[in-house]
């Protein structure tokens, strides 16, 4: 029983603590001019990939250690912290950040914007709103710019799909039937994300 007890009460907790230590909870004190991304959906990760292409400093804030470790394993710079605690943003040096991009659900985005404004009144906050009613709430919470990315994406998909001048890519042909799909270019959405990157990279 001794080996099993050793593994259960000593070795396993030691490995778990070592694993959790890989997830950072703060940024170095000298960090400045960086981009803070709150949320880890597909838009947030796509933004992180584009930021990495420019070798621009950034971090992704998540509130779960295991999720943070998954992101670290994927090559992202993830930080663990609570969205509604000012200490979290103090440790992320938000007062010296170039921009904060809030890409979680509306409730978390609103709480995060309010909390960030407690730490810094000047940092630029770009937020995503899932519903139309949340746009005004996020602006009142302190967001500098509010977008509805899913609404924008839906509009662009509908416009490209229903447009009579839309070009198609032929996927295959079965007898007289041709399988096609529209060539969708999501320029406006990527334009906003590119603007975020360019704004953050511009000198203060």
**Structural contact between residues 100 and 123, judged by C-beta atoms closer than 8 angstroms:** yes
Cβ count near 15 (within 10 Å): 11
Strand intervals (E) in 43-103: 58-62, 78-80, 99-102
pLDDT in tens, 122-139: 999 999 998 888 899 999
Element (H, E) at 127: strand 124-128
User: Mean pLDDT of all residues in the chain?
Assistant: 77
Q: What is the pTM of this model?
A: 0.70
Domains of the chain: 20-201 (3.40.50.720)
Question: So what's the pLDDT on residue 179?
Answer: 42
Task: For residue 184, name the pLDDT band (cuts at 50, 70, 90).
Answer: very low
Q: How far is CA 15 from CA 7, 12, 146, in A?
A: 10, 5, 42
pLDDT in tens, 24-46: 889 999 999 999 999 988 888 98
């Amino acid at each position: 029983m001794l080996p099993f007890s050793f593994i259960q009460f000593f070795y396993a907790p030691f490995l778990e603590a070592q694993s959790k230590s890989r997830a950072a909870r703060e940024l170095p004190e000298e960090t400045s001019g960086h981009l803070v991304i709150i949320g880890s959906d597909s838009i947030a990760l796509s933004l992180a990939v584009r930021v990495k292409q420019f070798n621009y400093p950034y971090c992704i804030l998540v509130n779960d250690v295991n999720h943070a470790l998954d992101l670290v394993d994927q090559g992202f710079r993830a930080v663990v912290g609570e969205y509604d605690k000012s200490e979290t943003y103090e440790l992320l040096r938000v007062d010296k950040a170039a921009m904060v991009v809030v890409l979680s659900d509306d409730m978390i985005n609103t709480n995060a914007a309010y909390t960030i404004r407690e730490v810094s009144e000047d940092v630029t906050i770009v937020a995503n709103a899932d519903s139309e009613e949340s746009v005004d709430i996020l602006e009142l919470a302190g967001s500098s710019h509010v977008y509805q990315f899913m609404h924008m994406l839906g509009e662009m998909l509908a416009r490209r799909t229903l447009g009579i001048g839309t070009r198609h890519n032929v996927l295959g042909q079965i007898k007289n039937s041709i399988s096609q799909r529209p060539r969708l270019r999501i320029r406006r959405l990527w334009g906003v994300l590119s603007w975020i990157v360019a704004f953050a990279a511009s000198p203060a």
